[in-house]
Amino acid sequence: MSVKLRPYRNGGWEVDIQFRLPDGTRHRERYKAPVESKSGALRWGQDRERHLLQHGPEPAKKEVPTLEEFAPKFLEGYAKADRHKPSGVASKETILRIHLIPVLGEQQLDAISNAQVQRLKLHLKDRAAKTVNNVLTVLNVMLKTAVEWEMIDQLPCSIRLLPVARRDAAFHDFEAYERLLEGARSIDWRTYVIALLGGEGGMRAGEIVALEWADIDLERRQISIRHSDWRGQLTSPKSGRGRFVAMTERVATALRKQRHLRSPRVLCLDDGKPITRQGAWSRVRYAAHRANVPTGVHILRHTFCSHLVMRGAAMRSVQELVGHQDLTMTQRYSHLSPAALIDTVRLLESRVAESGRGEILETAEGRDRKLKS
């Protein structure tokens, strides 16, 4: 144990304390004494030495990274290591680069406060509520990951998502859908097949362009949806699991007529190269323009769901056909089934059966009152 003094470069004294810990480890600390005199600096050093011997040295303070420093570790060690889909990794990278790093990039993770989260929301005030919630969700996952990796001790802030207004999904009515099909047919067979697979198969854009002939059973009129295409990479469908869709006669006829050997993919160019997702939707937009009907990335899939519900399909069946993970997603279309609502209300008009159904005999509360009396 020793306390040494040496003159500090700008005046005063440097205190150098050295000793061994109980486990034999050599420990050393150097400070500028908070007093000017040599004797006072020595006494301060000896007091500090006694404190260290009694209580032990303070644990080294964690070096907490800033959000910008943590971002690449988060993408590699969380999103890619846990095998998130390429589209999910790209989405997180975009949110970090465009929204989070410009606003919170210089903040240490443990210093991100509730006020700064609100400032982030204000920065995103012109964005849709769903977009804001996506940004907040990535921030929340980042902070939770930092806690799991012991980079910070606890979550530094509370993150509240914005309420999202539920909007009815846009879709083509029956007449507009037929016009769209005619417009698609007038362009080429590929555009026609894309419109059919979306509007009568409920398939997503990535699922349509990833479809292979091996996934199609023309004899059973059944399509197996096993893959989705994202920027040329095959991944699992959005729900994470495959599903089967029965073909309508029009879908089966169109596929049967256009069977080719140029590529394993159903949709390809004349040289066998696959059609991209962007290329597929460019064709549909052109067909919609020709038919003078609205267009959108998801409108054909919404059309599939809407037409089924309008014709009396059960919500659970529609959910299975389109691969919704949650029935709540499918129930967006429930307002399109007026017949089901009318039938439900008519239950009130049905005659009460002799068994006494519908007759209030006695409530539990009434029975309790009788017992007390």
Question: pLDDT tens digit string along 38-76?
Answer: 999 899 988 988 888 888 887 766 789 999 999 999 999
Lowest mean pLDDT among 195-199, 350-354, 362-366: 362-366
Dihedral angle computed from the Cα positions of residues 282, 284, 286 and 288, in that order, rounded to the nearest 10 degrees: -150
Lowest mean pLDDT among 11-15, 37-41, 335-339: 335-339
The answer on pLDDT for 325 being more than 60 is yes
Q: Give pLDDT, residue 293.
A: 93
Task: Report the percentage of the chain scoring pLDDT > 90.
Answer: 55
The answer on pLDDT for 140 being more than 90 is yes
* Tokens representing residue 23 in the block: 């486990």
Question: How does residue 294 score in pLDDT terms, banded at 50, 70 and 90?
Answer: confident
Q: Are 263 and 190 in contact (CB under 8 A)?
A: no
Q: Give the whole-angstrom CA distance, residue 238 versus residue 329.
A: 14
SS3 per residue for 27-59:
EEEEEECCCCCHHHHHHHHHHHHHHHHHHCCCC
Q: Are 269 and 207 in contact (CB under 8 A)?
A: no
The answer on pLDDT for 365 being more than 50 is no
The answer on pLDDT for 300 being more than 80 is yes
Q: Give the whole-angstrom CA distance, residue 241 versus residue 152.
A: 35
- Three-state secondary-structure class, residue 162: coil
Q: Give pLDDT, residue 339.
A: 61
Q: Give the whole-angstrom CA distance, residue 64 versus residue 30.
A: 23
Q: Give pLDDT, residue 318.
A: 86
Arithmetic mean of pLDDT, 306-328: 84
Q: Give pLDDT, residue 49.
A: 87
Instruction: Give the residues across from 274 on adjacent strands.
Output: 268
Question: pLDDT tens digit string along 231-246?
Answer: 888 888 887 788 999 9
Q: Is pLDDT larger for residue 2 or for residue 73?
A: 73
The answer on pLDDT for 367 being more than 50 is no
The answer on pLDDT for 363 being more than 60 is no
**Which sign does the torsion angle of CA 358, 359, 361, 364 carry?**
positive
Q: Which residues contact 190 (CB under 8 A, 6 or more apart)?
A: 267, 275, 283
Q: Give pLDDT, residue 362.
A: 45
- Other Cβ atoms less than 10 A from the Cβ of 275: the count is 21
Question: pLDDT tens digit string along 203-222?
Answer: 999 999 999 999 999 999 99
